Amino acid sequence: MFAQMQRYMGEAAPPNTSFYKPARKRDALRNTDFFESTSSFVLPCKYPKTANSMFDSMRQVYRQNCRRRLFKTMEDLPNTIAVKFGTVFHWEEGIVLPLAIILVMHRFVQPGRTVLVWRGLIEGEGDFAGTYLDSTGWCVLRTAASGALDSTDVRTCIHLVPILQKYIEGSEDTTDIAVFTDSVVRSAQQDKLELAIFDDTCSIG
């Protein structure tokens, strides 16, 4: 993952994006489909204050829901988040998508940048029962390349591999994995909202 991150960081920054848009791709070697999403934006707050505040704010996001459980047994806890929680996303036409998520995130602090790396398993419930997403991703934060010392450059890459249990069981009653993946990505917009709130707080501070 770090090799992929280094290649991505070596490329020109993608256009600023306000949300994650998954692109469907094909892994010819494994003969499977996967979804990849990248995001790049600048926060008007100094590094490393931004990185520290973002990591701490993510802890708060996971603590604010009674269905979410923050594990306390991980080693190196100041740099690790391990959480199991349930959430609900409201899809179009009144459709409700319950999700169960297990996520582990680790923070690496390096000279001039902070890297957040995570691995997660996302399970659909209700109409999407039997559908899973294996999620890996990273987020790199560093002083903005423009040289503005009061801004932080943020780049994120998310890799989602769908696992449709119904296919494995041979059932014809299958759910469009693209719909499920898009729903999961859209549900993550609540975290983006939390980030926007953090952005405003950071700007004020």
Range of the domain at 135: 2-204
Distance CA 39, CA 15 (A): 8
Whole-angstrom CA distances from 197 to 15, 53, 67, 71, 94 are: 22, 12, 22, 25, 27
Give residue 93's Cα distance to chain centre.
Answer: 25
CATH of the domain at 150: 3.30.530.20
Q: What is the pLDDT of residue 57?
A: 74
Residue 59 token pair: 């802890």
- Based on the structure, what is the number of domains in the chain? 1
pTM of the predicted protein model:
0.73
Which one-letter amino acid corresponds to residue 108? F
Output the DSSP codes for 142-190.
EE-TT--TT-EEEEEEEEEEEEEHHHHHT-S----HHHHHHHHHHHTHH
Distance CA 119, CA 159 (A): 10
Secondary element (H or E) of residue 111: none
Which one-letter amino acid corresponds to residue 176? D
Give residue 115's Cα distance to chain centre.
Answer: 13
Residue 2, Cβ neighbours under 10 Å: how many?
10
Mean pLDDT, consecutive 10-residue segments, the chain of 205 residues? Answer: 48 50 82 84 86 79 61 68 75 71 90 93 82 90 78 89 64 61 65 52 55
